[in-house]
Amino acid sequence: MGDPVLLEGEDPDQAGMMDEMCILVDIDDTPIGSATKLDCHRGAGLRHRAFSVLIFDSENRLLLQKRASDKITFPGVWANSCCSHPLDIEGERETDDASGVRNAAVRKMEQELGIPSGTIPADDLVFVTRMEYMARMNDVWVEHEIDHIMVVRANVEVDPNPNEIEETRWVSQDELDSMVKDHEAGKLVIAPWFDLIRINLLNKWWDDIDNMTPHVDGMIHRFMEERPDRAGLSIMDRHRVAAEKCIARAIEKSTEPRLGGAMMHLIEGGGKRLRAVLPSIVGEAVGQHHSGHHDLGAAIEIIHNFTLVHDDIMDNDPIRRGRPAVHIAYDMPTAINAGDAMLALAFEMIAESEDIKDEVMRDLVRVIGRMVRKVSEGQQMDMDFENRSDEVSEEEYLTMISGKTAAMFETCAQTGAMLAGASQEVQETCRLWGLETGLCFQLMDDLIDITGDTETLGKPAGSDVLEGKRTMMAIHALNQDPKKLPTFHAIFGKGEEGAAQLSEAISEMEAVGSLEYGKRRAMEHHAEAHDHLSKLPDSKSKKVLESLTDWQLERIS
């Protein structure tokens, strides 16, 4: 059922519905396939078809529902009468005269509101218009829908399903306005899609419900710019949403569906999007932020995912972010081709951005090009380390991770300041913060590989030891008296044949101080990162950068 880790602790009925197959659509609402409700709503999200029904009674009151606290996405928020998705099943995938969404609405009105099928016939639902919107709940769950909006006049009794609906209200226009004031005061929350309908459409319709005409112009209203004050988005969330929109628009340029799907595969799998948001946060902290920062962050995020696609091929890793790697989900040639296309697409995005000025373009391309080269050099060093018979020094290891991992953080920070018009001195301060943060990030990842659990990691805990990875802790252990680490030396680099003795080997590493040494080195880079941040002026965005720096260390505390 769905993703057992992601859905752990969720209501069983709601978790079960995450396996339902939603209808994927392109920007014109043309069906292009299907995906589970889970995959449509997690990570970057997948554009899918949805519907919203507005039921008015004879007193011109609108039926509202408060979504149950057991709902996985947007629990406890106030929404329109009924809202859900047509499924990829017979009777609901049809598009002629909106018959599919009408039939789905009848099904959901019975399942959610207890309105028996036939009480409101499908033909009575007036399909008025469509809107595309995106609304992020948190770093896991998101909505990206083309919503078919239907209205109907009906005096109905409702018997809400408590698993779906906590409360219902019939409200007048004035009563809804009062709810909006409570929403703005933080006393209740109105669902972002209903708020868009209310602001942009409903006020024009309320007194003319009986004269609403079916949707004939084919228009899709685009409400893709979210309102952070209403959706409750943090600084991180706001920039993440904007960057993800840039990513989706860019990849949609591909005229080859299979190639486009392969490019989106890892991005759809989620991820923290740190590289996507860092240019914007740094830009706000040191100068003038603008939409070019979102284009830049999106481009670097695409490059990051390109490196992951190729890394998985080189390392023969079958899983990434809890789903099949691209070369497994598609095939090896397609994965290589997708990675190449992603790299080219990132530079195309930067060149075509209307908000990145020509005078910074040369330096921007130079710095990003250097980043890609350093990442490749770091990857090559990492592979070479595994085949070396002589010792790898700590300095060599730090050089490797400064390329493979830290170069992207370094570049995000430097270019974010560059686009914001910051001085060369401030750009250098930001670059050094990014470098130290990236080094800390990788040192902690290495430690988490040993101290974490397999379920959380998405790969076997301690796999770096079995693979013979020269991490800071492994280098420290290899420099200790071998007599104190007999099991570690016996299984280091031996693969699965040493798995049974892994816990004993890790205990030996802990006993000689290798784990504590790795943590101490991470703390050193954490302190350096904060020292660079202290040179920037105080602001909300600086506090976000400070929190990100602390979060790095908290991962191993």
Q: With H, G, I as helix, E, B as strand and everything else as coil, classify residue 69.
A: coil
* Longest Cα–Cα distance in the chain: 87
Report pLDDT for 409: 96
Position 440 pLDDT exceeds 60 = yes
Position 454 pLDDT exceeds 60 = no
Report pLDDT for 532: 96
Report pLDDT for 357: 93
Q: What is the mean pLDDT of residues 376-391?
A: 89
Q: Output DSSP code: residue 392.
A: P
Crossing angle for the helix pair 235-251 and 332-352, nearest 10 degrees? 110
Q: Decide if 438 contacts 406 (C-beta within 8 A).
A: yes
Name the residue with higher pLDDT: 94 or 63. Answer: 63
Residue tagged 């569906």 (tokens): 257
Rounded CA-CA distance 485/29 in Å is 61
Q: What is the mean pLDDT of residues 294-310?
A: 95
Confidence at 139, pLDDT banded by 50, 70, 90: low
State which H helix or E strand residue 128 sits in. Answer: strand 126-136
What is the distance, to the nearest Å, from the Cα of residue 1 to the centroid of all Cα atoms in its chain? 21
Position 122 pLDDT exceeds 50 = yes
Domains of the chain: 12-198+222-233 (3.90.79.10), 386-557 (1.10.600.10)
Residue tagged 């007194």 (tokens): 207
Q: Output DSSP code: residue 68.
A: P
Q: What is the mean pLDDT of residues 413-434?
A: 98
Angle at 150 between CA 145 and CA 155, to 5 degrees: 135
Name the residue with higher pLDDT: 203 or 436. Answer: 436
DSSP output for 24-62:
EE-TT--EEEEEEHHHHHBTT---EEEEEEEEE-TTSPE
Position 74 pLDDT exceeds 60 = yes
Non-local CB neighbours of 36 within 8 Å, separated by 6+ positions = 2, 18, 19, 20, 21, 22
Position 458 pLDDT exceeds 50 = no
Q: What is the mean pLDDT of residues 44-68?
A: 93
State which H helix or E strand residue 153 sits in. Answer: strand 142-153
Position 460 pLDDT exceeds 80 = no
Position 129 pLDDT exceeds 70 = yes
Confidence at 378, pLDDT banded by 50, 70, 90: very high
Of 43-52, 365-374, 393-402, least confident by mean pLDDT is 43-52
Position 495 pLDDT exceeds 90 = no
Q: Residues of the chain with pLDDT > 90: what percent?
A: 63
Residue-wise pLDDT tens digits, 156-212: 999 999 999 999 999 999 999 999 999 988 899 999 999 999 988 888 889 888 888
Report pLDDT for 455: 45
Report pLDDT for 457: 44
Amino acid in position 555: R
Position 274 pLDDT exceeds 60 = yes
Name the residue with higher pLDDT: 27 or 80. Answer: 80
Confidence at 242, pLDDT banded by 50, 70, 90: confident
Residues in the chain: 557
Position 231 pLDDT exceeds 80 = no
Position 556 pLDDT exceeds 60 = no
Report pLDDT for 225: 44
Which one, of 539, 294, 289, lies nearest residue 421 by Cα? 289
Backbone angles phi, psi at 215, to 5 degrees: -65, 115
Report pLDDT for 456: 45
Confidence at 551, pLDDT banded by 50, 70, 90: confident
Residue-wise pLDDT tens digits, 318-356: 888 778 899 999 999 999 999 999 999 999 999 999 999
How many CB atoms are closer than 10 A to CB 8? Answer: 9
Q: Decide if 252 contacts 218 (C-beta within 8 A).
A: no
Q: Decide if 266 contacts 326 (C-beta within 8 A).
A: yes
Q: What is the mean pLDDT of residues 415-437?
A: 97
Non-local CB neighbours of 314 within 8 Å, separated by 6+ positions = 379, 383
Q: What is the mean pLDDT of residues 10-23?
A: 89
Report pLDDT for 277: 94
Q: What is the mean pLDDT of residues 361-366?
A: 96
Which one, of 404, 413, 471, lies nearest residue 437 by Cα? 413
Report pLDDT for 248: 84
Would you give the end-to-end CA distance of the chain in angstroms?
A: 33
Rounded CA-CA distance 367/386 in Å is 29
Report pLDDT for 2: 46
Report pLDDT for 285: 96
What is the signed CA dihedral for 137, 140, 146, 147, rounded to 10 degrees?
-40
Q: What is the mean pLDDT of residues 439-462?
A: 73
Name the residue with higher pLDDT: 455 or 532. Answer: 532
